Amino acid sequence: MTTFASDIIEWQRRYGRHDLPWQKRDPYAVWISEIMLQQTQVTTVIPYYERFMHRFPDVAALAQASLDEVLAHWSGLGYYSRARNLHRAARLMIERHDGNFPSSFDEVVALPGIGRSTAAAIMVFGFGERHAILDGNVKRVLARLGAIGGYPGQKRVADALWKGAERLLPDYAIEAYTQGLMDLGAGICVRSNPRCSDCPVRRHCIAFATDRVTNFPAPRPRRALPHKRWGMMIIEHGGAVLLEKRPAPGVWGGLWCFPEIEPCDDAAALCMSRYGVRVESVEPMHAVEHGFTHFTLTISPVRMRATRIVPHAGESDYRWIDIAHVKHNAIPAPVRRIIDAMSIAQPPQTA
């Protein structure tokens, strides 16, 4: 065992995290937590994880549920392709593995939404197997340890980090070692103001020895993100609002949103032509800003009061939902913010 690995293991056993709800030899629980933890902090994930596991305690429960229900339990976590992939993967486990979680690395990494590092974490924590991981926190630790320059998203840098991760693997205590790397990156070797004086492996760290800790890893190269503008129609009738399911794949695919329009469209005319809804008032609301990985978005909502509804037979991609219950559905964060901004103490009354 390398001295670096033994230092990590000893530190983790004394000071690391031991009470996270997914820390058990259960590959399903580890899988759910690892997917939730992608792009999301532990403190945010825990309540979502606990609610999700209460409703979907195993592969069968997740596979048998509707995608709408899965997305509703994910609503607020963002990056909704993660939830869609969980649902697809659970159904594939029913078809291909008799409802059991697969026990080989190759079978796990072949499931939707699971990459090399996530599969490795599942094998380590779910089965006790020896694999190297390389999540965002571990990339930062190893980049500083070896003074590996460059942005980790670049192939050259990623290859060097993977090589280091494989080289440092101990022959035993793999779970404590892996958890220790993650704990170190999450609490000590953080992006800003790292706590080097508390680091158990600073004597091995080239960046620390050369006083260049904040130089590693290099940040993502800056580039201007495109900006988009959408309109949304908040159509109210009898204490309910009209929501429309967004197509998948796509932005918020499978989630329920207020109907989208171009900012220059005639909202009242579209209400009638699309949904058979006649409105008598159109009230602009404050714009909502939202950021995605690849673009930024400004949403301009307009609030409208419906006076007449013509039923459309057979429509399944939109529904009227009591405004008090909208948040129980699978809706994206901007829709939640619009609902919060609405005064619902005295909802508009229909004529």
What is the reported pLDDT for 273? 87
Least-confidence region, from 92-101, 153-162, 214-223: 214-223
For the chain, where are the E strands, in sequence order?
A: 227-237, 240-245, 256-257, 260-261, 277-284, 288-291, 296-309, 318-322
Active-site residue 69, yes or no? no
Question: Which residue in 10, 34, 129, 166 is the catalytic one?
Answer: 34
- Say which CATH class 3-215 falls into: mainly alpha
In Å, what is the CA distance from 67 to each residue of 46, 49, 88, 259, 338? 21, 17, 9, 20, 24
Q: Where are the domains of the chain?
A: 3-215, 227-341
Which amino acid, residue 342? M
Q: How far apart are CA 132 and CA 186, in angstroms?
A: 17
Task: Please say whether the beta carbons of 198 and 188 come within 8 A.
Answer: yes
Same fold, 3-215 and 227-341: no
Q: What is the mean pLDDT of residues 21-47?
A: 96
- CATH assignment of 227-341? 3.90.79.10
Q: How confident is the model over 7-33, as pLDDT tens digits?
A: 999 999 999 999 999 999 999 999 999
What is the reported pLDDT for 312? 58
Q: How far apart are CA 271 and CA 300, in angstroms?
A: 16
What is the reported pLDDT for 310? 73
* Average pLDDT score over the chain: 92
Task: Please say whether the beta carbons of 351 and 304 come within 8 A.
Answer: no
Task: Please say whether the beta carbons of 231 and 263 come within 8 A.
Answer: yes
Helix (H, G, I), strand (E, B) or coil at 261: strand
pTM above 0.75, yes or no: yes
Q: Is the Cα dihedral 260, 264, 266, 270 positive or negative? A: negative
Q: What is the mean pLDDT of residues 274-296?
A: 90
